Amino acid sequence: MPRPASPLIRYDAVIATSLHIIDTEGLDAFSLPRLARALNVRAPSLYHHFADKADILRGVARAVVAETPMPDSAGVPNWIEWFVALSLNFRVAVLRHRNAAPLLLQFMPRDILIRTYEQSARFLAEVGVPRERRVLVLDGLDKLALSAAITEASREPGESRELFGTADPATEPTLADAVACNHRSPEEIFADTVRSFLRGAVPEVPDDVPAPRQTPGQTVADLSSPAAS
């Protein structure tokens, strides 16, 4: 039988369908037979395009991260708020696919994010962050954003979003008092954590340094494409 003129299985269709299954049915429900049924193909045919199940899940992790919008410099007052906005955008992108969030622990796609990191490194250089601390900032922001997103994604729907909400005033009075005095949402606490990290990592760069210019409407996927090089 002659080979079809175009592949019956497209990479983007496999990844989109895989993500849809994980979003709607959960990560445990995902399997190659389940994916094959959704694509109306035989499971072994998937191995012509992917090395194994992990290869597909790696692509799913990339798709989740690629949805992250880059902040519009015109909408943020300074360089710190630009990075706060980027971190919050990443958090939102992950929480949009909370069932897939655990994949980022194993398959965080730093390889396709290299152009995003390059742009962020340029921004850090522009605002005056010393060369020897730029990797510290990039890696620290990565870990803060990833841990915050996965922690939030692990909460069951309907579960209280109050941090340390199980503190009992009778047995943990100091912690319970701190919880009672906290008026920030998890998003606000995360944003303040990013601000505190940046100010502590590079105290010599003033808060009021303007955000570097950025093309509006770009996503991580746009920066990762060959056309962005």
Cα–Cα distance measured from residue 124 to residue 132, given in angstroms and rounded to the nearest whole number:
11
* Predicted local confidence at residue 158, as pLDDT: 58
Q: What is the mean pLDDT of the chain?
A: 88
Q: Residue 112, exposed/middle/buried by CB under 10 A (0-12, 13-18, 19+)? A: middle
Cα–Cα distance measured from residue 113 to residue 86, given in angstroms and rounded to the nearest whole number:
13
Q: Confidence class of residue 220 from pLDDT cuts 50, 70 and 90?
A: confident
Give residue-wise pLDDT tens across range 37-78.
999 999 999 988 899 999 999 999 999 999 999 888 888 999
* Listed residue (186, 11, 187, 22) closest to 103, CA to CA: 22
Q: With a cut of 70, say whether residue 5 has pLDDT above it.
A: no
Cα–Cα distance measured from residue 201 to residue 135, given in angstroms and rounded to the nearest whole number:
11
Percent of the chain with pLDDT over 70: 90
Q: What is the pTM assigned to this prediction?
A: 0.86
Q: DSSP characters for the chain?
A: -PPPSS-SS-HHHHHHHHHHHHHHH-GGG--HHHHHHHHTS-GGGGGGT-SSHHHHHHHHHHHHHHTPBPPPGGG-SSHHHHHHHHHHHHHHHHHTTGGGTTHHHHH--TTTTHHHHHHHHHHHHHHT--GGGHHHHHHHHHHHHHHHHHHHHTSPTT---STTTT--TTT-HHHHHHHHH----HHHHHHHHHHHHHHHH-TTS-TTSPPPP--TT-BHHHHHSGGG-
* Predicted local confidence at residue 127, as pLDDT: 93
Give residue-wise pLDDT tens across range 94-146.
999 999 999 999 998 887 788 888 989 999 999 999 999 999 999 999 999 99
Q: List domains and CATH numbers for the chain.
A: 11-65 (1.10.10.60), 70-208+217-228 (1.10.357.10)
* Predicted local confidence at residue 3, as pLDDT: 43
